[in-house]
Amino acid sequence: MWAASNVKVGDCLAAASVTLRRYLKLGAIMAKSKFEYVRDFEADDTCLAHCWVVVRLDGRNFHRFAEKHHFAKPNDSRALHLMTKCAQTVMEELEDIVIAYGQSDEYSFVFKRKSNWFKRRASKFMTHVVSQFASSFVFYWRSYFEDQPLLYPPGFDGRVVVYPSNQTLKDYLSWRQADCHINNLYNTVFWALVQQSGLTPVQAQARLQGTLAADKNEILFSEFNINYNNEPMMFRKGTVLIWQKVDEVTTKEVKLPAEMEGMKMVVTRTRTKPVPLHCDIIGDAFWKEHPEILDEDS
């Protein structure tokens, strides 16, 4: 009697263990198919630890895009404000961006040194920034170009560069702002010569060949009565976006005692938002005024 029931228990245990093994094997197959090895072909694009990660995007063939959409020359405020709106959206939607800088058809976004967003994968940083920016450009187009329909879908390229120190990051941003200054000074004189003096683009180009910054300033001043230093800061310096506390004032209907029913109250909320500045970032003053940007723990 005892022997018989022992056999039965033993049989049951053996059967259960076979079933369990079968399930485990099936689970393993489901989790790891024979095709799984193709993952090994994916390149590791982790950005080096503790470095600043910069994503720069740039409009594709915007020379043509600006012509087709009748951008003002040399600077179109609508286009520059739209670019900044898109960059603010990128900063608000994505994580860990501490500062952004934009000019012309480009914007650079700097991720925190210690960001671990998507395990620091360069492709994730770049594709999220560029796709969010491009969809925002189309989404907000009409708010900035009321009378100018968007004629075709614009595109943007992107690249990722890592900078190992605060100095190299500051030099990177200085390089982009110096580029803004050089191009804007050239374009301001070039278009004054074409639009106001009636030179052809080829003649204007020949006139400016070999001129230094001082010569260009002199042409602007003596021939067009333009003091370059009085040109709008947004054109000369580009746009810096940093996080700042902003008071948002809204009127709200709030629940009040019966005798005050229906009254509205002004509510002030403090929010941290990406705020545009048009200032020099090459000198030390900006960095001394905003030490939190380069803060080790940022």
Q: How far is the CB of 129 from Mg ion (least distance, A)?
A: 16
Q: Is 61 annotated as contributing to ligand binding?
A: yes
Specify the residue, 83 or 293, whose C-beta has the smaller distance to ligand GTP.
83
CB atoms within 10 A of CB 114: 13
Local structure of 254: helix, strand or coil:
coil
Q: Is 295 known as a binding-site position?
A: no
Q: Residues in the site for Mg ion, rule: CB under 5 A?
A: 58-59, 62, 104-106
Residue 63: name its binding partner from Mg ion, ligand GTP, none (Cβ under 5 to 8 Å by kind).
Answer: ligand GTP
Partner touching 158 among ligand GTP, Mg ion, none, CB below 5 to 8 Å by kind: none
Question: CB burial class (10 A; 0-12, 13-18, 19+) of residue 80?
Answer: buried
**What does the buried/exposed string (b/e) look like for 261-279 if buried means 16 or more CB atoms within 10 Å of the residue's CB?**
eeeeeeeeeeeebbebbee
For 3, other C-beta atoms within 10 Å of its C-beta total 6
CB of 234: closest distance to ligand GTP in angstroms? Answer: 10
11 versus 67: smaller Cβ distance to ligand GTP: 67
Q: Please state the closest distance from residue 66 (CB atom) to ligand GTP, in A.
A: 3
147 marked among binding-site residues = no
CA-nearest of 51, 69, 50 to 59 is 69
Query: 62 or 111: whose CB is closer to Mg ion?
Result: 62
d(CA 253, CA 264): 4
Which residue ranges make up the annotated binding site for Mg(2+)?
Answer: 58-59, 105
